Amino acid sequence: MTKNRRAAFYTLGCKVNQHETEALSALFKERGYDIVDFAEAADVYVINTCTVTHLADRKSRQLIRRCLKTNPDASVVVTGCYAQIASAEVAKIPGVSLVTGTTEREHLVDWLEKMEKDEKPLTKIRDLKEVRAFEEIEAGRIIERARPYLKVQDGCEQYCTYCIIPFVRGPLRSRPLESAVREAQKLIEAGFKEIILTGIHLGAYGRDLGEGFGLERLIQELLELAGDVRWRLSSLEPVEVTPKLLGLMKKHGNFCPHLHLPLQSGHDEILRAMNRPYTTGDYREIAAMVREAVPDVCITTDIMVGFPGETDRHFESYLEFVDEIAFGDLHVFKFSPRQGTPAARFPGQVPPQVKEKRSRQLIRLGDRLAYRYASNYVGRRLEVLAETRIKEDLWEGHSSNYLVVRFESAEIRRGQIIPVEVTAVEGKVCYGKVIR
């Protein structure tokens, strides 16, 4: 019996993980569990892990120990990417009840209850070479954020030399078009006003479904759904931005003018060493094409510092290139060698203190660029999704072009889209007044 039992969840890592945790929460709720905060005493703790860096691995282990301090008798489920690649290591941690990876988690509650009956810890890890089907678990209406994720794709076959993800997510798998549209309709009926399409390699959506089932077709189908909702893409490889995609963004006001296009490096020598499928010249042309088609678009990016072999000369070129492209915001991260990836064995590993210094320089540049982009909107109207009540009547949310906007209102509800005139910018944050 599961009546009145309590389950708590913790997510590490990316947007895909966040969506999957919501879907797992829905599975437990459907089986009669009460969902509680991770800091509370629970009968079951589910930790959805990340393994992009060694820091993520360490935090996963710390969380396992923390929840057992809260309730030593609890069942602890460890799932996700770290569990997939290091299941034996995770299973050895005292108190872990169930270890499962990145597939077939629709059976998770059954596995857990079987383990409890048999009083045996379970490890359920599927060989990813055998996996061909998309894991369809719907988050339903348990989502607590104002902007839900709609996961439509899993797996990656890019094999960037620094990245462990292809080894923990497996081959490309796309959600069937009808299934994606069906869940999107449920999210619209639940009242959400912005939905974010996400996947491990989102731009590869449809490659395994056959001719004519690419990302542009999925977006076209979603844009035609009834309902006052806007659509956002989580991340695309730069080379996967097409004129057709930009045409949809230009034509449809509810297709958010925001593209997150990972750059990773601002120098061609490092891009080649990373096995990235473009040059800085390609990226420059793509950014120009995007802005010509959609002038108000916000282009954001990821960039890595400290990749093996990266010199001061390389880094200076990063700064120049990032400034030239004039990104709306940067996500800067430091190279972390992952066992099993080629880059972990490359010569020329960069000292931690050099990585830290370069990271700070890029972050400062990113802050200046974000301020410059946001300042263009002073005096202009933005449509802002009310996401978080900061205090009293002060709200914060994102505009369609991904600016963070704060405004005062006593009359709105979370999840509404509010017209706001920007009056000032501080750092990366716009401040404005509601247009009546």
Q: Provide the residue ranges of all domains of the chain, joining segments of one domain with +.
A: 6-126, 132-235, 254-376, 381-434
Amino acid 114: pLDDT = 80
Q: What is the CATH architecture assignment of 6-126?
A: 3-Layer(aba) Sandwich (3.40)
Same-fold call for 6-126 versus 381-434:
no
Task: Give the model's pLDDT for residue 38.
Answer: 93
Give the 3-state DSSP-derived string for 137-188, with helices as H, strands as E and coil as C: CCCCCCCCCCCCEEEEEECCCCCCCCCCHHHHHCCCEECCHHHHHHHHHHHH
Q: Could you tell me the fold of the domain covering 132-235?
A: Transcription Regulator spoIIAA (3.30.750)
Q: Domain 254-376 has what CATH class?
A: alpha beta
Can you give the pLDDT at residue 226?
Answer: 83
CB 314 within 8 A of CB 307: no
pLDDT at residue 1 in the model: 44
Return the pLDDT at 2: 43
Determine the residue type at 290. V
Residue 231: per-residue pLDDT: 98
Nearest CA-CA partner of 155 in 212, 205, 217, 105: 205
**The pLDDT of residue 143:** 66
pLDDT of residue 64: 85
Q: Which residues of the chain have pLDDT under 70?
A: 1-3, 116-120, 139-144
Query: Which of these CATH numbers, 2.40.50.140, 3.40.50.12780, 3.30.2010.10, 3.30.56.10, describes 381-434?
Result: 2.40.50.140
- Least Cα distance to 197 among 211, 217, 212 occurs for 217
Q: What is the predicted pLDDT for the residue at 15?
A: 86
